[in-house]
Chains A and B, each alone.
Chain A
Amino acid sequence: MFLRESGRATNLKINLEALITPTIEIGVPGGKKILDFAEALIGTDRSKLDKTRINLADTIGPAAVSAAAAIAANFSKNDRIANGCGIPTEPKMLKASKDIRANLGLNDFRSAENTFKHFPEER
């Protein structure tokens, strides 16, 4: 949701589907290189990670590597806290993300059950 809002604030036409299907153009400068690096960083192919790191640095700059690593690392933490504690998403956030969730298939994530068991009407 913050991606959609930050896109609006900076006049970018962002295609959120690229978060699920990264072959689609996302509409953010350097987006493909960023997506490739993020995926490789939490994946198991080290040579792919090394390649995408170089591509990211060459395209956006060396500081983009440490920034992207910091964000990916932070959300690797948050995803484990959320899925490990079984937390629900707040109703306000659910309402704001209804179309995004439906379009991207997020409601099918198994962790969604931690929310829908409390707010079945938001499914």
Chain B
Amino acid sequence: MQMVLYADSKYPVREDVDAIHAKQLDQIGKPGTWGTAAQRLAIAQEVRDASYEVGLQERPEKAQPKNNTKLPSVAQEVVRNLTVSPKDFLEASYNKAKKNGLGDEEYVEIVGIVSRITCMDVFARGIGVPLRPLPEAREGEPSRDRPAAAKKEMAWVPTIPNLPEGGEDAKALYGEGYKTYIVRGLSLVPDEVRMHLELEETQYLPMEHIFIPDYQHHEGLTRAQCEIVAGRVSALNECFF
């Protein structure tokens, strides 16, 4: 029988959201592209510790297994700053991370994990349930696959260009259509794009419907009501895109 991740929620949770979050939490506990499972879980744990400290999350009453892997201070700083105050995360923050030895590949995987664990944890807080426990670290080595087509475009980090320039890497990750930077930002680590889009299509709406202004994806809110949430959150985070 399949486990239900949010069985304790007082509010109805869509089955697809439940299933995707269970899958993605599990995926963070596996070796990634540049980080080991233990390192990836340490990033997730650091997101939570930083959030508890400033009151963005509440520490679960029931103690959860703690990952003892220590992140390098440069990684720890990126994780904490991006978690706690994305509006204050500027090009200088990225340049400092690079100067202190963080490679673009590791950096992008960190940004992806911080963003995804924040997403799942904000959802849990929103429906009023404790944060879900992190999984145990699995054995194995990172794949270290760097897409050959990735290059410096307009983002701070290298990205896979759209077709035709992006070639096979672009085709495999984006399909045939043009993709905006919010899709391509993490493309130096293609698995992070896949995971990001999986959450996007479940929690926001399927991308093929984005330009249908009255398309309703959620039972509980109209499209306009959903856009209010999106707009207010992005305004508070001072996100320009």
Contacts and interface: CB of A to CB of B under 8 A. Distances in A.
CB-CB nearest 6 A-B residue pairs: A69-B126, A63-B220, A86-B156, A44-B55, A67-B218, A3-B227
Interface of B: 9-14, 17, 54-56, 58, 78, 82-83, 86-91, 94, 108, 111-112, 114-116, 118-123, 125-128, 154-157, 159, 180-182, 184-186, 196, 199-200, 202-204, 210, 213-214, 218-241
Given A44-B56, A118-B154, A83 B239 contact: yes
Instruction: Give the one of B83, B118, B155, B220 with max A CB within 10 A.
Output: B220
A70 interface: yes
Contacts of B241: 78, 82, 87-89, 93, 111, 115
By DSSP majority rule, is chain A's interface helix, strand, loop, or mixed? helix
Interface in A61-78: 61-78
Contacts of A39: 232, 236
A84 B43 CA distance: 15
B123 A69 contact: yes
B11 A80 contact: no
B87 A83 contact: yes
Contacts of B90: 110-111, 113
Given A34-B229, A86-B156, A64 B220 contact: yes
Contacts of A67: 218-221, 225-226
Interface string A1-23: 01101111110101010011010
